[in-house]
């Protein structure tokens, strides 16, 4: 055997800096995106604020949203989606909408979303059984703000008793399901496990992936003391390959739970998209502030063309970063519009008739229809809001778990809650409906739910029990 040089052709997927930036931009809220763009303009001389939003590429996305949502009418005004639009035009048979002025939607406060809220929402949409969801809720409540499970499994099993008796193996099985939730890496018990979970979602062709898994599972704790050379000696691997794997590990997030941290400026509801109805067809477009408000400075571009390679190296680097940012913003808007349009097709009845018409819908269904990963859908809807004729709603409001009905279909939990609320509002104040009676009425409507389920939904809506609702005239 002798050393020789040879060339080969191949294809592989790599987490490039552009892809990481696109993922980061996608999961940002509107307030965080404004801060990110402002910092980019301050640090990059080739970026400047756009003087006229009409010249931005994102204005074309609004036109595409109108054209792809139904039969395009060239005679329709281009500003149909603006706040002064008649929200009830083109009545498609829907019920009455809220009397709230669309312009006042951004003046309402929004409750900050915690990591537990985000995970419990995904748990509620999962296909786990009621017993497994209770185990999952206990696991989520035991996680710290970084997303780690610090409590040992025997302590979790003890906390579940006497309502649920589960073995450590059963709890571990549910934990593995939660570790597939977004953000990737939550539910880990050690730093190595957290990094390994994030490595599992990377493409198999990622350079240094297998060696990074070995480091995460073994000498990760020794890395600060031994360095790359010491880890390479322990694993008996070339130093350059170990360095490549370490660089891959450094791109991961050691505290995934912090991604759900509350930004100080993210206080008010700011819609990312606007939904309106035109001639009976629901349409969507990005809100004006959601479009990129920055452009590349043309003067510097001309300067780069006239300078030599040595003089223009810095400007070329800044130009490349500016183009990456604009492409990332464009990709963010396109992905967000795809998701919103899919939700409009799936939940048009919700917009027409309200919560009682909300059909069961999960992240997996939307991801399958759009050809995207579930984590991408979760990032796209995280802390995103849409202005509708029914007010400004979080995109999470369009998702709901389902319960099988006697007719062979499914009814969403949100729709069932709306039915319970309507029955309670119409009850005799002197003889309020008990949970058992509400369950019987729902069963008569073809929705078989247990009394305990009715009690859980009633408590979730902050409605008192029947004996506390008695009113004597």
Distance between CA atoms of 204 and 89, rounded to whole angstroms?
51
The percentage of the chain sitting over the pLDDT mark of 90, rounded to a whole number, equals: 7
More confident residue, 400 or 324: 324
Write down the pLDDT at residue 458: 83
Mean pLDDT lowest for which of 166-180, 291-305, 424-438? 291-305
Mean pLDDT of 217-225: 81
Q: Where are the domains of the chain?
A: 22-91+100-107+267-355+368-394, 115-258, 402-468
- List pLDDT tens digits, range 231-250: 888 888 888 888 888 888 88
Write down the pLDDT at residue 53: 45
Q: Are 429 and 469 in contact (CB under 8 A)?
A: yes
Mean pLDDT lowest for which of 30-39, 306-315, 347-356, 377-386? 306-315
Assign 110 a pLDDT band (cuts: 50, 70, 90). low
Pair of tokens at residue 391: 């007010």
Mean residue pLDDT of the chain comes to 76
CATH topology for 402-468? Answer: Arc Repressor Mutant, subunit A (1.10.10)
Write the DSSP assignment of 67-110 as a string of letters. HHSS---TTS-TTTTSTTS-TT-S--S--PPP---GGGGGGSB-
Phi–psi pair at 73, nearest 5 degrees: -115, 110
Write down the pLDDT at residue 261: 57
Write down the pLDDT at residue 403: 61
Give the start-end residues of each E strand in 235-340: 273-278, 281-286, 294-296
- Of 401, 382, 375, nearest to 180 by C-alpha is 375
Tell me: cis bond preceding 414? Omega within 30 of 0 counts: no
Residue with the two structure tokens 């479009």: 291
Those residues with Cβ within 8 angstroms of residue 201's Cβ, 6 or more apart along the chain or in another chain: 184, 375
Q: Report CA dihedral (402, 405, 409, 414) to the nearest 10 degrees.
A: -30
- Side-chain half-sphere CA neighbours of 175 within 13 A: 27
């Amino acid at each position: 055997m002798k050393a020789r040089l040879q060339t080969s052709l191949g294809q592989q997927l790599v987490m490039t800096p552009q892809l990481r930036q696109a993922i980061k931009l996608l999961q940002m809220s509107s307030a965080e995106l404004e801060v990110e763009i402002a910092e980019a303009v301050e640090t990059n001389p080739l970026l400047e604020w756009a003087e006229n939003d009409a010249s931005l590429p994102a204005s074309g996305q609004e036109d595409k949203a109108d054209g792809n949502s139904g039969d395009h009418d060239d005679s329709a005004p281009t500003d149909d989606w603006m706040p002064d639009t008649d929200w009830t035009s083109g009545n498609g048979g829907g019920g009455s909408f809220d009397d709230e002025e669309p312009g006042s939607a951004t003046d309402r406060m929004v409750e900050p979303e915690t990591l537990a809220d985000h995970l419990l929402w995904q748990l509620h949409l999962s296909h786990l059984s009621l017993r497994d969801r209770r185990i999952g809720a206990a696991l989520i409540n035991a996680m710290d703000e970084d997303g780690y499970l610090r409590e040992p499994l025997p302590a979790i099993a003890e906390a579940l008793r006497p309502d649920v008796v589960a073995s450590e193996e059963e709890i571990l099985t549910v934990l593995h399901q939660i570790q597939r939730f977004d953000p990737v890496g939550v539910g880990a018990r050690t730093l190595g496990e957290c990094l390994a979970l994030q490595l599992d979602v990377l493409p198999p062709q990622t350079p240094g992936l297998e060696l990074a898994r070995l480091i995460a599972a073994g000498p990760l704790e020794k890395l600060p003391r031994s360095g790359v050379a010491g880890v390479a000696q322990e694993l008996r691997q070339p130093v350059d390959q170990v360095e490549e794997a370490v660089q891959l590990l450094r791109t991961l997030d050691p505290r995934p739970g912090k991604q759900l941290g509350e930004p100080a400026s993210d206080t008010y509801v700011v819609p990312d998209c606007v939904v309106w109805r035109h001639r009976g067809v629901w349409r969507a477009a990005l809100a004006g502030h959601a479009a990129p408000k920055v452009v590349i400075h043309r003067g510097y571009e001309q300067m780069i063309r006239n300078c030599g390679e040595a003089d223009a190296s810095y400007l070329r680097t800044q130009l490349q970063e500016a183009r990456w940012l604009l492409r990332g913003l464009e990709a963010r808007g396109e992905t967000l519009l795809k998701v919103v349009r899919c939700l409009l097709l799936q939940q048009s009845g919700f917009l027409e008739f309200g919560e009682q018409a909300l059909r069961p819908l999960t992240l997996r269904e939307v991801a399958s229809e759009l050809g995207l990963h579930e984590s991408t859908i979760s990032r796209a809807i995280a802390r995103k809001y849409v202005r509708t004729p029914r007010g400004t709603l979080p995109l999470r409001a369009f998702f709901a778990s389902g319960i099988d009905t006697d007719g062979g279909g499914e009814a969403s939990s949100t729709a069932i809650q709306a039915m319970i609320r309507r029955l309670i509002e119409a009850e005799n104040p002197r003889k309020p409906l008990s949970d058992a009676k509400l369950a019987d009425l729902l069963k008569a409507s073809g929705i078989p739910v247990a009394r305990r389920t009715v009690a859980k939904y009633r408590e979730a809506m902050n409605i008192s029990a029947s004996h506390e609702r008695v009113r004597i005239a």
